[in-house]
């Protein structure tokens, strides 16, 4: 993601990834964020 793209975002979330995977599909990333949002309450 470029700095210009980050500059127009309201929030940026970092998802740490271990292993050889370098990126996630949007729906997979959303699933991870939603899981943690729902289970951290």
The 10s digit of each residue's pLDDT in 8-36 is 999 888 888 888 877 788 888 889 889 99
Whether the per-residue pLDDT at 41 is higher than 80: the answer is no
The pTM score is 0.55
In a domain? residue 3: no
In a domain? residue 38: yes
Q: How many domains does the chain have?
A: 1
In a domain? residue 9: no
Instruction: Print the domain residue range for 27.
Output: 14-41
In a domain? residue 32: yes
Q: Are 13 and 33 in contact (CB under 8 A)?
A: yes
Q: What's the sign of the alpha-carbon dihedral 27, 30, 31, 32?
A: positive
**% of the chain with per-residue pLDDT over 90:** 29
In a domain? residue 1: no
């Amino acid at each position: 993601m470029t700095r210009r793209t980050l500059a127009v975002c309201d929030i940026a979330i970092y998802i740490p990834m271990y292993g050889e995977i370098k990126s996630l599909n949007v729906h997979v990333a959303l699933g991870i964020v939603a899981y943690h949002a729902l289970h951290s309450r």
